[in-house]
Structure 1
Amino acid sequence: MSNPSYVHGVSATPLLGETIGQNLRRTVQRFPDREAVVAPFQGYRATYRQFWEQVSLVAQGLIARGVKKGDRVGIWSPNRYEWVLVQYASARVGAILVNVNPAYRLHELEHVLKQSGTSFLITAKGFRQANYVEMVREAVQRCPLHRETLVIDEEWRELLEEGRRAGAGALAERERTLDPDDAINIQYTSGTTGFPKGATLSHHNILNNGFFIGEALRYSEQDRVCIPVPLYHCFGMVLANLAITTHGGCMVYPGESFDPGTVLRTVEQERCTALYGVPTMFIAELEHPDFAKTDFRTLRTGIMAGSPCPVEVMKKVQSAMHMPEVTICYGMTETSPVSAQSAVDDPLEKRVSTVGRVHPHVEVKIVDPSTGRVVPRGVTGELCTRGYSVMLGYWEDPHSTRQAIDAGRWMHTGDLATLDEEGYVNIVGRIKDMVLRGGENVYPREVEEYLYTKAEVADVQVIGVPDIKYGEELMAWVKLRPGATATAEELRAFCKGKIATYKIPRYWKFVDTFPMTVTGKVQKFKMREQAIAELGLEAAAKVKTA
């Protein structure tokens, strides 16, 4: 066999062998007077010294409320500075932080609280049209381990006062009992397929992943990072917060949730050096009416991740948004999350067409999904990863853990990828998203990338729908640029002669939005369900699943 699709991240920089609290203490000692957190919409600013003092009060308050090492402490809130304080305070008391998706409703909330055994829940009063307090009141009646709820909007100051009265002695004693390998966080997978499972992560998992992400971005105490991605997700909690605090930078939160205009204003007013987002966020910013008058000159870098990054969008972000060093990250919640990342000085072609190379201290291999054998370089297969970043397991779900992590501790991602001779990883798509049309394997991302090159197309998602003759046919959901027009016939003609005939979508649907998770991941299974109903393909679906 030619060179196998296996690579490991060689690094002269060792892994951090400390807890999140120990690492934060070192940062505070180095940069006590640098800004650590800014939330303009809350009128909140804190230096690292102030941040440490407030984290300590929250931690002391949690201990005073009876939170023990290993207890699950849930947090249900949109982006706020209090969320960040709870993240670091829970780590310092050895509690396991349970991240609750702000978009959840009663059934999902109850599942997470019950499955994780959350005993102490910190919640906002509500978000958008959702009344969190009412849902919590109902859900906890069926959660036997739940004992206390704290509403941020009403009881936050009381928690801080309790922490102040309790003093630092119990916290210092608790911190001496902690170990970097302790479970510290449960992050529920997005639920784009099936019911969410709780990926259980340690200090060692997420602290090191955040640190090496920051190293790749060349972060220092001079960096100010605009964070419009949700904190409950690893994108906000690890790629942002832990990457920043391990390097002494400043975390800047533009709002409770994503709003493109607010992001643009925050970048300019706070003189941010980095900006994060999923591709749909960057697309919304590029198309916003205020884009042309926004000063991006302080920006240099950032992260685009969460879903495949269209090449054309990446090029515009690099140039029009003054982010020549923007990087792409690839990973999954179960791997803390990043396994591969492009470098700020990678060749342009590599930065727009791949997800970079394997992270330090991480192994990656590409295997044939049917045999498990490593494939040659350049051949498509399932990406598997191993190393410090692989989760401890799914919380109290050994069966699902064994399905995801094999006997060799390789995490099977379910993503189709290739590895080139230089070690760059290209994500082709999801195994479940691959379309089998008349015996031909079609990777939707390949078709999407081509359609992105048409000027009128702002965003596009390609799915497979059932077909009696071919098994599956392609369908493209297309979002046009403001003011642009195009027909299915025009787009079909655009494809003809440029991509193989079997890759040209048979069905076309023009939309303003796609069904998405709160983190911006497109839910293709929902698109497929909707398409089957709208196109009357129920009979074909039954044939395919028979």
Structure 2
Amino acid sequence: MTLEPIWRTHYEDGVAEAVDTVNHLLTQDLTETVSRHPGHTALHLVLKYLPLGLTLQSKITYRELDLASNRVAHALKSLGLQPGERVAIMLPNIPQYVISLYGILKAGLVVVNANPIYTAPELEHIFSDSNAKAVICMSGGLETVRSIQANTEIEHILITDINETLSGLARKLTARPLKELGHIADVVYGGGVYNLHLLMSQQTARSMAPAGEPDSMAVLQYTGGTTGVPRAAVLTHRSLGTNTSQTRAWFAKARDGEEVMMGALPFFHIFGLAITVLLSVRIGARIVITPNPRDTEQNLRLVSKEGITVFPGVPALYNAAINHEKAGEYDLSSVEYCISGGAPLPMEVQETFNRMTGGNLVEGYGLTECSPVVAANPLKGEARDGKIGLPFPSTEIRIVNVEQDEDGNYVDAEPGAEGELCVRGPQLMKEYWQQPEATAETIDADGWLHTGDIVTMDDDGYLAVVDRKKELILVGGFNVVPREVEEVLYAHPAVLEAAVAGIPDENSGERVKAWVVLHEGQQATEDEIRDYCRQSLTGYKVPREVEFKDELPKSLVGKILRRLLVEAETGQTAA
């Protein structure tokens, strides 16, 4: 049963209760923004700040983005690619990602996002599974692509590099260090390998007639890589476009043509694609692009020097910022909106970041299969600690018991009780690519998408994630929620980062183990950490083991990978 939308009464002023389902292609957002702000900077790449006020940077206006993406569209068509075929983008955060994205879509083709630092086997799976015909990558990635090309349907490899949008002198200054880092390599063109810039220069910049329908596939977004073999969610122009409308409604006070967006989240990730790219294009924001989001001091410089107003991120990004030794030297007061996603946001990180910036860092929630945003705390209204917020406009919510009843049905959980979150709305994916059984397991006959996340909802409609169903730790028949233990660990003054998971135990089935990174210069013993936990946790929730580490394994978007910790512990692949 759909829950009554009690949460709407807590929307901040100006947020609509519902949005219209989008009935146009994603490329129309760019067309409309060009008509409003043709000379406004769309893409601002900042590689390095130099002495004397100089900067290694490039700026591309919305009009230039439109024309460049037209050339990409014509270039792809000139290679014989047909509407509906897939083109992989294997790039870090650089202007060419956004140019390629819109060029692919304008040609009626489908974007396949690929992490540029994936290994050859990981890329082979994505390219083969998607039946991609072409890939756009940096010269430093060519060797990897070539090594697997024979096992895929890749026919065309288009090369572009980080410094290609810089001026001639700046390009020369950056070529050597980029080559030493392996980002740039010597290329022999021909045999299906093309220089993207040269190919674009040979094409017209005229607009192309729209290809496709709102329900056409726009993006194949691979997900599940942290829990198993990645599978692709089919995201349409309508689902992505409508989620952009929902997000725009949430940003009710955002100023068209005036916001400055932090481009640190990887564009190839659904969070970065949806918020950093698609929302920015919808509202005519300037995206300040950094190819290396792990350079924390550069992130601080960008906020200070460029006047960042919107800073989407993940907890690890904010945690690194507040703990940087030079954080206090930078003026971060321009920040107005921050949505954290991708992983639970520790309250200590949230409170400290808000104190430092004067902004409002709030937690949101989404998943790839929902294009991606489902809920968020109000940006200027009442944000509640430990909550993922309120369901988005035009989003239906249902909370069901974790286990099915005797008839195999999921029964609605009692009000306020824990249960699995189910979502229905216009932002849902169409299906999993070529996996009808997986689709049926995830989206039921009534259109409810079962998220696998265990949540509670309070009397005002605020949701809180208890944990993922698969990540619950079963200790002697008792459920232990990793996040609950992690919150306690994060509150310890010596703890910088923490992760908790269950490992096999002969007596209790599983036992709780914590992996902890300490603040620089801080010390703590295993017994001290366990004693601290006992002050807040019942006995079976207290970690039986505490392992201190220099760092925790993370995905490129900063999500701590519990699975890898468990694998290292048990010596086998975790289920």
**TM-score, normalising length from structure 2?**
0.87
Report whether the alignment pairs 1:100 with 2:114: yes
- In the other structure, the counterpart of 1:16 is 22
In structure 1, C-alpha distance between the alignment counterparts of 2:66 and 2:243, rounded to whole Å: 22
Task: Using the TM superposition, give the Cα deviation of residue 66 of structure 1 relative to its aligned residue in structure 2, in angstroms.
Answer: 2.1
Determine if contact 1:307/1:521 at 8 Å carries over to the other structure: yes
**TM-score, normalising length from structure 1?**
0.91
What one-letter code is carried by the residue in structure 2 that aligns with 1:100?
A
- In the other structure, the counterpart of 1:526 is 564
- In the other structure, the counterpart of 2:291 is 255
In structure 1, C-alpha distance between the alignment counterparts of 2:97 and 2:118, rounded to whole Å: 17
In the superposition, relative to structure 1, how do residues 205 and 13 fare at CA in structure 2: closer, same or farther (>3 Å)? closer
Q: Work out which of the residue numbers 223, 240, 251 in structure 1 matches 2:276.
A: 240
The Cα offsets for residues 259-315 of structure 1, whole Å up to 9 and x where unpaired, read as: 111111111111111212211111111111221101112111122110011011011
- In the other structure, the counterpart of 2:13 is none
Task: Using the TM superposition, give the Cα deviation of residue 377 of structure 1 relative to its aligned residue in structure 2, in angstroms.
Answer: 2.4
What one-letter code is carried by the residue in structure 1 that aligns with 2:28?
Q
In structure 2, C-alpha distance between the alignment counterparts of 1:157 and 1:493, rounded to whole Å: 60
Report whether the alignment pairs 1:214 with 2:220: no
In the superposition, relative to structure 1, how do residues 7 and 336 fare at CA in structure 2: closer, same or farther (>3 Å)? farther
What one-letter code is carried by the residue in structure 2 that aligns with 1:216?
W
Q: Work out which of the residue numbers 331, 346, 349 in structure 1 matches 2:366.
A: 331
Task: Using the TM superposition, give the Cα deviation of residue 428 of structure 1 relative to its aligned residue in structure 2, in angstroms.
Answer: 0.8
Q: Secondary structure at the match of 2:276?
A: helix
Report whether the alignment pairs 1:495 with 2:504: no
- In the other structure, the counterpart of 1:149 is 157
Determine if contact 2:239/2:371 at 8 Å carries over to the other structure: yes
Report whether the alignment pairs 1:136 with 2:169: no
Report whether the alignment pairs 1:228 with 2:264: yes
In the superposition, relative to structure 1, how do residues 515 and 197 fare at CA in structure 2: closer, same or farther (>3 Å)? same
Q: Secondary structure at the match of 1:69?
A: coil
Q: Secondary structure at the match of 2:283?
A: coil
- In the other structure, the counterpart of 1:29 is 35
Determine if contact 2:315/2:345 at 8 Å carries over to the other structure: yes
What one-letter code is carried by the residue in structure 1 that aligns with 2:468?
R
Bigger drift between 151-160 and 308-317 goes to 151-160
Q: Secondary structure at the match of 1:406?
A: coil
Structure 2 matches for 1:346-495, cutoff 5 A? 346-348=381-383, 350=384, 352-371=385-404, 372-495=410-533
Determine if contact 1:260/1:288 at 8 Å carries over to the other structure: yes
- In the other structure, the counterpart of 1:77 is 91
In structure 1, C-alpha distance between the alignment counterparts of 2:83 and 2:131, rounded to whole Å: 14
In the superposition, relative to structure 1, how do residues 195 and 373 fare at CA in structure 2: closer, same or farther (>3 Å)? same
The Cα offsets for residues 333-352 of structure 1, whole Å up to 9 and x where unpaired, read as: 1110111111113334x1x2
In structure 1, C-alpha distance between the alignment counterparts of 2:6 and 2:136, rounded to whole Å: 42
Q: Work out which of the residue numbers 199, 210, 216 in structure 2 matches 1:159.
A: 199
What one-letter code is carried by the residue in structure 2 that aligns with 1:149?
I
What one-letter code is carried by the residue in structure 2 that aligns with 1:113?
F
RMSD: 2.1
Report whether the alignment pairs 1:279 with 2:312: no
Task: Using the TM superposition, give the Cα deviation of residue 237 of structure 1 relative to its aligned residue in structure 2, in angstroms.
Answer: 0.8
The Cα offsets for residues 420-461 of structure 1, whole Å up to 9 and x where unpaired, read as: 111111011111110111121111111111222111111111
Task: Using the TM superposition, give the Cα deviation of residue 370 of structure 1 relative to its aligned residue in structure 2, in angstroms.
Answer: 1.0
Bigger drift between 337-346 and 10-19 goes to 10-19
In structure 2, C-alpha distance between the alignment counterparts of 1:97 and 1:466, rounded to whole Å: 41
In the superposition, relative to structure 1, how do residues 412 and 13 fare at CA in structure 2: closer, same or farther (>3 Å)? closer
Bigger drift between 204-213 and 308-317 goes to 204-213
Residues matched between the structures, number: 521
Q: Work out which of the residue numbers 133, 139, 143 in structure 2 matches 1:119.
A: 133
In the superposition, relative to structure 1, how do residues 298 and 4 fare at CA in structure 2: closer, same or farther (>3 Å)? closer
Report whether the alignment pairs 1:38 with 2:44: yes
Report whether the alignment pairs 1:289 with 2:295: no
In the superposition, relative to structure 1, how do residues 397 and 359 fare at CA in structure 2: closer, same or farther (>3 Å)? same
Structure 2 matches for 1:55-70, cutoff 5 A? 55-70=69-84
Bigger drift between 215-224 and 431-440 goes to 215-224
In the superposition, relative to structure 1, how do residues 4 and 440 fare at CA in structure 2: closer, same or farther (>3 Å)? farther
Q: Secondary structure at the match of 1:101?
A: coil
Q: Secondary structure at the match of 1:353?
A: coil
Determine if contact 1:4/1:375 at 8 Å carries over to the other structure: no
Task: Using the TM superposition, give the Cα deviation of residue 510 of structure 1 relative to its aligned residue in structure 2, in angstroms.
Answer: 0.8
Determine if contact 1:342/1:355 at 8 Å carries over to the other structure: yes
- In the other structure, the counterpart of 2:181 is none
Q: Secondary structure at the match of 1:355?
A: coil
The Cα offsets for residues 483-529 of structure 1, whole Å up to 9 and x where unpaired, read as: 11111111122122422111111100111211222222222121112
The Cα offsets for residues 366-421 of structure 1, whole Å up to 9 and x where unpaired, read as: 11121211112221111111111111111111121112111112111111111111
In structure 2, C-alpha distance between the alignment counterparts of 1:306 and 1:83, rounded to whole Å: 21
In structure 1, C-alpha distance between the alignment counterparts of 2:308 and 2:488, rounded to whole Å: 33
In the superposition, relative to structure 1, how do residues 35 and 445 fare at CA in structure 2: closer, same or farther (>3 Å)? same
Q: Work out which of the residue numbers 220, 225, 239 in structure 2 matches 1:205.
A: 239
The Cα offsets for residues 464-493 of structure 1, whole Å up to 9 and x where unpaired, read as: 111111111111111111111111111122
Q: Secondary structure at the match of 1:138?
A: helix
Determine if contact 2:362/2:379 at 8 Å carries over to the other structure: yes
Gapped regions of structure 2 (runs ≥ 5): 9-15, 48-55, 162-186, 188-194, 405-409
Report whether the alignment pairs 1:305 with 2:379: no
Q: Secondary structure at the match of 1:458?
A: strand
In the superposition, relative to structure 1, how do residues 369 and 5 fare at CA in structure 2: closer, same or farther (>3 Å)? farther
- In the other structure, the counterpart of 1:52 is 66
Determine if contact 1:123/1:149 at 8 Å carries over to the other structure: yes
Determine if contact 1:225/1:275 at 8 Å carries over to the other structure: yes
Determine if contact 1:219/1:249 at 8 Å carries over to the other structure: no
Determine if contact 2:239/2:429 at 8 Å carries over to the other structure: yes
- In the other structure, the counterpart of 2:192 is none
Task: Using the TM superposition, give the Cα deviation of residue 199 of structure 1 relative to its aligned residue in structure 2, in angstroms.
Answer: 0.8
The Cα offsets for residues 148-175 of structure 1, whole Å up to 9 and x where unpaired, read as: 11111371221221223xx52xx533x1
In structure 2, C-alpha distance between the alignment counterparts of 1:518 and 1:5, rounded to whole Å: 37
In structure 2, C-alpha distance between the alignment counterparts of 1:469 and 1:44, rounded to whole Å: 61
In structure 1, C-alpha distance between the alignment counterparts of 2:147 and 2:564, rounded to whole Å: 28
- In the other structure, the counterpart of 2:552 is 514
